[in-house]
Amino acid sequence: MSTGTQLLVGMADIKVAKGPATFTCLGLGSCIGLVAFDEQADVCGMVHIMLPEAFKDKPVDKIGKFANTGVPAMIAEMEKLGANPSRMVMALAGGAQVFKFGSAASSRLDVGARNAEATLEILRGMRAKISAQDTGGSSGRTMIVKSDTGVVTVRTVHGGETELCCLRRGRRSAAA
């Protein structure tokens, strides 16, 4: 059942909403879908990260494209709607290894693993509360977040749709 505003979070997009909204991040391969939620302010945000780090010698065309620019930008957008970073709870999915690499292959090729690590490093640096993560593996994912219930689900071709976590406190403690 869809609730509130429907937001499709495409490549390098940052979407934020106050009040009920459904965020959908389609076709995450090596990309990362990161969601943050401030329950008290009822503000939710999502970013579709494609690469770990912006290039030093090139202007950033889309701020959501890189982990090191996209995460702070999403939080700043949420703050404009009244969210407070210290209250935010986060979840992330994606970062799959697309294609198999030989044992001698350069680790630079595994963009998925580097995306996940770069995102987590930024979140650790912010002392962010991470409710759940579903990263790595070899499946493409679609990540769906319904802010009215706080439920985050991940869908894969082989595994179907499963609940990753709930970002609302009531459900979190009930599940604990």
Partner 1 sequence: MSHTVTIEQIVSKTSDLPTIPAAALKVMRETQSSSASAASVARIIVTDQALSARVLRLANSAFYGLSRKISDLPEAVVVLGMKSVKNLALVAGTYPWMKRPLTGYCLGPEEMWRHAFGCAAAAQIVARMSRKCSEDLVFTAGLLHDIGKVALSVWLENKMGAILLYAGREEISFDEAERRVLGYDHCQVGFHLATSWNLPEEICSACLYHHTPAQAAEHQSVVDCVHVGDYICSAMGFGLGGDGMLYPFDEGSLTRLGISPDQIDAITDEFVEKFEEYEALFSEIAA
Give the residue numbers annotated as catalytic, written as ranges.
Answer: 31
> Least distance (Å) from partner 1 to the CB of residue 118?
11
Tell me whether residue 30 or residue 131 sits nearer to partner 1 (CB atom).
30
Number of alpha carbons in the 13 Å side-chain half-sphere of residue 10? 1
Cα→Cα distances 34→79, 135, 152, Å:
16, 11, 11
**Applying CB under 8 A, which residues contact partner 1?**
11-12, 26-31, 50-53, 55, 58, 61-62, 65, 96-102, 104-106, 108-109, 111-112, 138-140, 157-158
Question: Least separation, in Å, of the C-beta of 5 and partner 1?
Answer: 23
Query: How many residues are present in the chain?
Result: 176
Closer to partner 1 by Cβ: residue 45 or 112: 112
* Residue whose tokens read 């992330």: 92
Task: Find all residues with CB under 8 Å of 7, minimum gap 6, and list them.
Answer: 15, 17, 21, 22, 23, 24, 46
Closest CB to partner 1 among residues 96, 128: 96
Shortest reach from residue 85's CB to partner 1, in Å: 27
Residues in CB range of 119: below 8 A, 6 or more apart: 32, 34, 49, 52, 67, 71, 92, 95
Shortest Å distance, C-beta 155 to partner 1: 12
Residue among 78 and 143 whose Cβ is closer to partner 1: 143
Structure tokens at 40: 């008290």
Amino acid at 77: E
